[in-house]
Chains A and B, each alone.
Chain A
Amino acid sequence: MKAIVSFVAVLLLVAIGYMGGSAGSTSRFLFGVVAPYSAFAIFVVFMIVRILKWASSPVPFRIPTTAGQQKTLPWIKDSKIENPSSVFGVVIRMALEVLVFRSLFRNLKTQLHEGGRLAYGEAKWLWMAGLAFHYSFAIILFRHLRFFLEKVPYPIQLVESLDSFLQIGAPLLYLTDVALLGAVTYLFIRRVALPQVKYISLIADYFPLFLIFAIGATGVLMRYFTKTDIVGVKTLAMGLISFNPAVPETIGAMFYTHVFLLSVLFAYFPFSKLVHMGGVFMSPTRNMANTSREKRHINPWNYPVHVHTYEEYENDFRDKMKEAGLPVEKE
């Protein structure tokens, strides 16, 4: 049901984008210029707002994760990356998390076998699909810079040629296009096929999957099948980048659908789970060195508590203690 609602929502967005792109020049201006500009502004501003909001919550104590031995006595070997006590270790742990999804790699499958025997198995498919999805998306985004830079720099040309090195068809098939659509499809099927995952899946989980699939599908349709006036597309993109927007007549409704869906994604990004792009750097279990034993971390909102020390206690009751024959520290 939740999947169906998300699917219908994305279909509606596709319809809106397609109709907007086929209507008159005012509508094309709205979908080709106003929508991307406002979506991008929302994205940048509210990402920063979100990061500042996270940064305003105090995290007074180190939150160690138990994946490795923490630094204690010199003869006990500590795990420098799994439970880092130095900034360098934290940087390595964060880099592994961001670049190769280390904590997802540890994902396990728990199964109860006959006779109450519990078994843990490896479960790497989610990790693999996640890697394929994120890297494909990153490469596709990077490749799209060719529309936004007047002289296309060498690194982009290099990525393009590597991405299309199989030289299948014309225009050349990009491997990341296939990988992205495949990975998104897997991530969706996983959500509906596994009962446990389906149970915890929300509209907010299905919607971005459908949205990203639709963005990829419209892009693939435009590049390989229906075709668009690609020179016009770059003219529009360069117009946006140089703040001289001009809307060519020749680019079809499919392009506006693609751009409108992308605008929706950008505008939705800071308010959705996708904001983990910034959030991963702000997660306390990943970005803090475990120095709980080396340093005393004091809670900043501690209020002064009146304490009654043993010394004061003895001063109060010394005579009575002596009478009862209890040992005292000061005579």
Chain B
Amino acid sequence: MKIYNKGLVFSLILVFAAIALFPFLVQGGRVAAKPDPKTDTPEIMQYAQEHGGKKECVESKEWMRGEHMQLLNQWRDSVVRDDNRGYISNTNHQRWNMSLQNGCMKCHSNKKKFCDECHNYLSVKPYCWDCHIQPAEKEEVKS
């Protein structure tokens, strides 16, 4: 098979292959680290102690993993538009206070080790902190 305009055709193929294979080349066979969100803040540990060793959020862990962003959106609308801060959990039927800074972040006081862990992994940039004040985190002393 005779190939005409070899130079141009092979450059075209090279460009195509480089674009198609570029994520493989960048990664180069390295195994990527998985995110590991931590739920071991003093507040959560204390809650678990008071509730018979059970860590629990407003809803189940699996549900929260997929739906927390929608829940936060609903909470915002409920608080801002209806002045309603009461949330009755569908899982344990308790009343929780709808609040980001005084609710969520009170237990999950470790934004860097909890929120950011997955958000950075997946390049998700929630705009919570455009309005809310980011919780001050104690710098961990590196041993």
Residues of A within 8 A of B (CB): 40, 43-44, 47-48, 51-52, 55-59, 145-150, 152, 156-157, 160-161, 167, 169-171, 227-231, 234-235, 238, 241-244, 278, 281-282
Contact = CB atoms under 8 A, between A and B. Distances in A.
Between B13, B123, B124, the greatest number of chain A beta carbons within 10 A of the residue's beta carbon is seen for B123
Interface residues of B, number: 40
A299 to B, nearest CB: 13
A45 to B, nearest CB: 10
A149 B27 CA distance: 7
B27 A242 contact: yes
B129 interface: no
Interface in B107-139: 118, 121-127
Tell me which of B4, B6, B21, B70 has the highest count of chain A C-beta atoms within 10 A of its own C-beta: B4
B48 interface: no
Nearest to B124: A171
15 contacts: A44-B21, A51-B9, A51-B13, A52-B9, A52-B13, A56-B3, A149-B23, A152-B122, A156-B123, A170-B69, A227-B66, A227-B67, A231-B121, A241-B27, A282-B12
B26 interface: yes
Interface of B: 1-6, 9, 12-13, 16-17, 20-21, 23-24, 26-35, 65-67, 69-70, 72-73, 118, 121-127
B73 A169 contact: yes
B31 A244 contact: yes
A238 B118 CA distance: 14
B84 to A, nearest CB: 19
A242 B30 contact: yes
Contact of B118 (A44, A161, A231): A231
**Which 10 A-B residue pairs are closest in the complex by CB-CB distance?**
A227-B66, A152-B123, A170-B69, A148-B23, A238-B32, A55-B9, A170-B73, A146-B123, A150-B32, A241-B27
A56 B1 CA distance: 6
A161 B1 CA distance: 48
Contact of B29 (A149, A156, A234, A243): A243
A195 to B, nearest CB: 38
Contacts of A231: 34-35, 65, 118, 121-122
Contact of A51 (B12, B32, B69, B121): B12
Given A148-B23, A150-B27, A242-B31, A234 B73 contact: no
B1 A52 contact: yes
Given A44-B17, A152-B123, A238-B27, A55 B5 contact: yes
Nearest to B6: A55
Contacts of A51: 9, 12-13, 16
Given A157-B123, A241-B24, A242-B27, A235 B34 contact: yes
Given A55-B4, A150-B32, A229 B69 contact: no
B23 A145 contact: yes
B110 to A, nearest CB: 17
A241 B22 CA distance: 10
Contacts of A145: 23
Nearest to A56: B1
Nearest to B127: A167
A160 B123 contact: yes
Nearest to B66: A227
Given A149-B26, A152-B123, A230-B118, 6 more contacts: A55-B6, A56-B3, A57-B4, A167-B127, A170-B72, A231-B118
A48 B11 CA distance: 12
B77 to A, nearest CB: 11
A161 B24 CA distance: 25
Contacts of A40: 20
Given A227-B66, A242-B29, A48 B5 contact: no
